[in-house]
Amino acid sequence: TNADELKRAAAAKALGEVRSGMRLGLGTGSTAWHFVDLLGEKVRNGFDVLCVPTSEVTAEQARSNGIPLSDLDTLDRLDLTVDGADEIDPALNLIKGGGGALLREKIVAAASAEMIVIADASKVVPALGRFPLPVEVNRFGLGATRRAVRRVLDRHGAQGELRLRGEETGQAFVTDGGHLILDAFFGRISQPEALSKDLLDIPGVVQHGLFLGMCSKAYIATPNGVERLLK
Ligand code: DER
């Protein structure tokens, strides 16, 4: 089984939790892509769902699959969000944002009664922080914000650098929300809750990729089958 088949197997398990009539949040990334693809097949066979996408990319994929879309102005609560993750620790705390959709993903997950993460086994880690932590920042005052984030990283023992996503290509990445992303290379995050608070206290920081206490179930695909992790 190759990585893509593993992702699809995890997505299929999450789809098994979806009931007709549900209001769903649709995640972003290569694993969530399979969930949306499989959901499309069920919709075409008469499955009745109403979905809120976590990115323009997912919205486009959902539309092309005939999946009915709504938004969080119309709906205030969703039953379930299914999304991927860059890292998953034993408490099911996550790092997300590798695909740049973390703000809408967190807004949608927070509006959902339950969040299920789907991933291949490479995402399961003993502690968060080997994957760089995405920090979504407002363009205005970027220099001041970047220096403030650097000070927080130093206080929290970050081992590595703070990179503006896309800088290496000469073209900064811009999120669906019109913001920029700083990727913080930690190595290991020892106090995620304190780090989350310190980052969100910086005025120019919009949000970050630590999803703490939000995920209650994960389907992890391994070559020997899909494992279910519960918080
Ligand atoms: O950017 C994101 O938050 C994605 O969900 C990411 O965390 C997982 O993407 P992948 O399924 O392509 O690895």
- Identify the residue whose C-alpha is closest to ligand 1 atom 9: 29
Residues in contact with ligand 1 by the CB-under-6-Å rule are: 27-32, 83-86, 96-99, 101-102, 105
- The CA 51 to ligand 1 mean position distance, Å, reads 19
Q: How many CB atoms lie within 10 A of CB 65?
A: 16
Going across the sheet that includes 162-164, the strands are 162-164, 180-184, 133-137, 205-208
**ipTM for the whole predicted complex goes beyond 0.85:** yes
d(CA 40, CA 136): 31
Element (H, E) at 104: helix 102-110
Q: Quick one: which of 99, 178, 167 has its CA closest to 137?
A: 178
66 assigned binding-site residue: no
* Residue-averaged pLDDT of the chain: 97
Can you tell me which atom of ligand 1 is nearest the CA of 98? 1
Beta-strand pair 205-208/115-120: unpaired
**Residue that is written with structure tokens 């299929």 in the block:** 12
**Where do the DSSP E strands lie in 109-174?**
115-120, 133-137, 162-164
- The CA 96 to ligand 1 mean position distance, Å, reads 6
29 assigned binding-site residue: yes
pLDDT in tens, 163-202: 999 999 999 999 999 999 999 999 999 999 999 999 999 9
pLDDT in tens, 79-126: 999 999 999 999 999 999 999 999 999 999 999 999 999 999 999 999
pLDDT in tens, 115-136: 999 999 999 999 999 999 999 9
d(CA 170, CA 141): 19
d(CA 210, CA 66): 32
For residue 73 the two structure tokens come to: 């102005």
Can you tell me which atom of ligand 1 is nearest the CA of 119? 11
Q: Which of 6, 31, 175, 220 to mutate to test the pocket of ligand 1 (most atoms within 8 A of CB)?
A: 31
d(CA 98, CA 91): 20
Reduce the DSSP state of residue 218 to 3 states and report it: strand
Q: Which residues, in sequence order, are bridge partners of residue 183?
A: 134, 163
Predicted TM-score (pTM) of the model is 0.98
31 assigned binding-site residue: yes
What b/e sequence results for 17-36 when a residue is b if at least 16 CB atoms lie within 10 Å of its CB, and e otherwise?
ebeeebbbbbbbbebbbbbb
99 assigned binding-site residue: yes
Q: How many CB atoms lie within 10 A of CB 77?
A: 9
Can you tell me which atom of ligand 1 is nearest the CA of 102? 3
Catalytic residues: 105
Can you tell me which atom of ligand 1 is nearest the CA of 31? 11
Q: What DSSP string describes 172-203?
A: ----TTS-EEEEE--S--S-HHHHHHHHHTST
Is the pLDDT reported for residue 1 higher than 80? no
- The CA 124 to ligand 1 mean position distance, Å, reads 13
Identify the burial level of 45 via C-beta atoms within 10 angstroms of its C-beta, where 0-12 means exposed, 13-18 middle and 19 or more buried.
exposed
- The CA 199 to ligand 1 mean position distance, Å, reads 21
